[in-house]
Amino acid sequence: MAGTAGTPGTPRVLRAMNDRAALDLLLEHGPLSRTRIGKLTGLSKPTASQLLARLEAAGLVLATGTSEGRPGPNAQLYSVNPAAAHAAGLDVNPHRIRAAVADVTGRTVGEFKLPTPGRHPTQPVVRQVTDALDGAVKAAGLARGDVHRLVIGTPGAFDPNTGRLRYASHLPGWHSPTILDELAAALPMPVEYENDVNLVAIAEQRLGAARGHQDFVLLWNQEGMGAALVLGGRLHRGWTGGAGEVGFLPVPGAPLVRQVTKANSGGYQELAGAQAVPKLARALGLADVPTGPYTDAAAALVARAADHASGPHRTLLTTYATHLATGLASLVSVLDPELVVLSGSALTAGGEVLRALVQAELEDLAAARPRLVVGDVREQPVLRGALESALAATRDEVFDTSR
């Protein structure tokens, strides 16, 4: 007996599954002909033709020219319609909010940066968020209502039990117990919130060094130190959203930090965070230690040290590698991941030289032997992860032709 519409196995559901498979192939490969789509999906030519006609009528695909320079007649090519949907992401830190809008293919079409200086912001958080979003929306030539979904990345995490931001005492204005309700009331689209380092892991999993990996740890070292844990293909956030807040981890070689949330720091942060690199350089008597923001100074020092095979610069790099491996040893001993991705400017600046030193030290300090790689997503990785997260949910909604 035939099932009702919407039941697995019915023609409508099977058509929707084929539609989604074709749309995913077009996203992955770019413009494809009807014949190529048929071969990649295993569908007959008539069925592939019906599928493309259906998707074109729904505004999800466009006919975009013809294949040229191949034997035989030119074939009509089809692409995902970029204007079928848009998603937005925000990367929030104490100094600024970066906003971006992407079309459904993943191409960024509008960006905006809103400075938010000082510990006592002059504008309420809701106004900052809407101003940043509107700036990116305007740059994209769109209206706020054109955005299907927004993902906001912040340091720390919103505790799902209380709805309040935890582990980010340095983010002024974001700790109000009503902030999520205020943002929901101000914005016309669904809004999700994610820890910034978790978003970097999403970017690396979808676009970078962790593609194809289901179990990995991403170690982040930039303004602060943190980790993202992907287990069985899914982010592990913890009971209060605090999984991966490894900056607070007590480690050998650093004094115990008590009341870590008040200090907004811990042993691993003090031992191997970006702020530790200029201090180490001065202790080694290195000249020309950069001044200015410690994240920039750390990246410059690590990059310079990676170019030296010996001397105090190499001592700086090997000591830093040992400090990094000290905290990583605890992480990999508990989680035994397949892969560790090193990300953030204070790690990526050292490239393959630093990676190899940390790998060698980790193999001395821990029984687990994950492979270490340097992250591939270097340009605004938090924002890229926010867009990828928002796009994934938007595509699930917009590309579901069974609705």
pLDDT of residue 3: 43
Q: What is the mean pLDDT of residues 18-40?
A: 95
Q: What is the mean pLDDT of residues 188-216?
A: 97
Reported as a pLDDT band with limits 50, 70 and 90, residue 1 is very low
pLDDT digits (tens, 9 = 90+) for 311-331: 999 999 999 999 999 999 999
| Nearest alpha-carbon partner for 156 in 286, 89, 243, 44 | 243
Q: What percent of the chain has pLDDT over 70?
A: 96
What's the rounded Cα separation, in Å, for the pair 338 and 316?
28
Reported as a pLDDT band with limits 50, 70 and 90, residue 4 is very low
**The two three-digit tokens of residue 368, written as one number:** 């687990």
* 343 sits in which H/E element: strand 339-343
**The two three-digit tokens of residue 210, written as one number:** 């962790």
First-to-last C-alpha distance (Å) of the chain: 23
Q: Are strands 147-154 and 86-93 parallel, antiparallel or unpaired?
A: parallel
Angle between helices 311-335 and 294-306 in degrees, nearest 10 = 110
CA distances for 139 relative to 109, 134, 288, 389, angstroms:
7, 8, 40, 21
What's the rounded Cα separation, in Å, for the pair 362 and 341?
14
What's the rounded Cα separation, in Å, for the pair 22 and 16?
10
What's the rounded Cα separation, in Å, for the pair 351 and 358?
11
Q: What percent of the chain has pLDDT over 90?
A: 88
Reported as a pLDDT band with limits 50, 70 and 90, residue 402 is confident
pLDDT of residue 68: 63
**The two three-digit tokens of residue 13, written as one number:** 């559901």
**Least confident range of 111-125, 131-145, 184-198:** 111-125
What's the rounded Cα separation, in Å, for the pair 325 and 381?
23
Q: Where are the alpha helices (DSSP H) in 249-369?
A: 260-263, 267-272, 276-283, 294-306, 311-335, 345-348, 351-365
pLDDT of residue 366: 97
pLDDT digits (tens, 9 = 90+) for 220-261: 999 999 999 999 999 999 999 999 999 999 999 999 999 998
Residue pair 332/340 in contact (Cβ under 8 Å)? The answer is: yes
pLDDT of 157 > 50? The answer is yes
Sheet holding 96-103, edge to edge: 108-115, 96-103, 86-93, 147-154, 191-195
Find which of 8-22, 69-83, 225-239 is predicted with most confidence, using mean pLDDT.
225-239
Q: What is the mean pLDDT of residues 126-155?
A: 97
Residue pair 296/271 in contact (Cβ under 8 Å)? The answer is: no
Reported as a pLDDT band with limits 50, 70 and 90, residue 73 is low
Residue pair 88/149 in contact (Cβ under 8 Å)? The answer is: yes
pLDDT digits (tens, 9 = 90+) for 333-376: 999 999 999 999 999 999 999 999 999 999 999 999 999 999 99
pLDDT digits (tens, 9 = 90+) for 174-183: 999 999 999 9
Average pLDDT, the chain: 94
pLDDT of residue 294: 92
Which residue type, as a one-letter code, is found at position 31? P
What's the rounded Cα separation, in Å, for the pair 288 and 173?
37
Residue pair 376/213 in contact (Cβ under 8 Å)? The answer is: no
pLDDT of residue 117: 78
In the 3-class helix/strand/coil scheme, how is 118-180 assigned residue by residue?
A: CCCCCCCHHHHHHHHHHHHHHHCCCCHHHEEEEEEEECCEECCCCCCEECCCCCCCCCCCCHH
pLDDT of 383 > 90? The answer is yes
Q: What is the mean pLDDT of residues 206-210?
A: 97
- What are the backbone dihedrals phi and psi of residue 99, each rounded to the nearest 5 degrees, phi first? -125, 150
What's the rounded Cα separation, in Å, for the pair 240 and 246?
14
